[in-house]
Amino acid sequence: MRSRAAPLLSPRVQTALAWALISFGIWLFISSGMLSLGRYSPPGTDFKVFHAAGLMWWRGGNPFLDHRLVYAYPPQAAPLFMAFALLPYATARWLNIALNSAALAALFAVYVRWFTEDRSLARMPLLRVCAATAILISPMTDLSIDLGQIAILVTGLIGVGWYLLYEKKRDVLAGIFLGIASIKPQLALLFLVWLVIDRKWRALAAAASTALVLLLPSFLILGGPLQTLTAWRAGMQIYLAAPANQPGSPFMLSLISILWRLNWPLWISTVLFALGFAIVFLARAR
């Protein structure tokens, strides 16, 4: 019989290294993301916009048309920002940090329970810790927390929702999570499209119902669905007209900027997406 090779690192050394890595990741996450140490710009740049928009919603205003805010989040995000606006800015910012941090922890828990053979949260295998540390020390993770964004929160909602849908078979509850995640549609859109492809009608109905409930405050404030849609469209035009948000900007490091540089027509992308959706939808049925 062939003997199994001894591990390069003993279990004790692996455990010590794992704790060192995760401690470093948490330290950097707190110091750079939460406390903004070493940064020149003031923390919470984006969250100031969210908090101001929430205050404007409460006062019956229209944040989409305020050129100083440059606010373009979809109308169903209004309840979240209105909830933040009930608190003083500093308190609300730390609440947002806490929610995003909880979402990161939830994502890690889902990763352990779903994507690894060892489904225990007690042990800390080195590879698992390396994955968690890589997320914690990612510049984009820390920058999102520093700016006061909600991207991590939405990603956590999507991750937990997907786990509930496919691991726990809780379609309605999963749909509620994904409906809330629609407050940042650029992250949630393809997951919602997949609900159609996979014919998860109960989850899709729950997601749509949740989004509709979240839309009610903006409908009441702005005068109805049509007025809300028109205002959001105007807000998007103001947002996209800002130099920092245009393709080719240093802040638009994405496929959009690449396609813009190549003069890629939008209609080609639309046709390819529609064709791909039809093929996958029919193939999934078989």
Tokens 């050129």 — which residue?
Answer: 67
Q: What is the CA radius of gyration of the chain?
A: 22
Per-residue pLDDT, 117:
62
Residue 228's pLDDT is 96
* Residue 92 or residue 167, greater confidence: 92
pLDDT digits (tens, 9 = 90+) for 108-160: 888 777 666 665 555 557 777 777 788 888 888 888 999 999 999 999 999 99
* Residue for token pair 């726990």: 168
Mean pLDDT in residue range 13-38: 84
Q: Is the pLDDT of residue 1 over 60?
A: no
**257 with 248: CB under 8 angstroms?**
yes
pLDDT at 20: 86
- Residue 174 buriedness (CB in 10 A; 0-12 / 13-18 / 19+): buried
pLDDT at 8: 66
Q: Using an 8 Å Cβ cutoff, are 79 and 214 in contact?
A: yes
78-90 core/surface letters (b: 16 or more CB in 10 A; e: else): bbbbbebbeeeee
Residue 157: predicted pLDDT: 95
Entry pTM: 0.85
Q: What is the pLDDT of residue 119?
A: 59
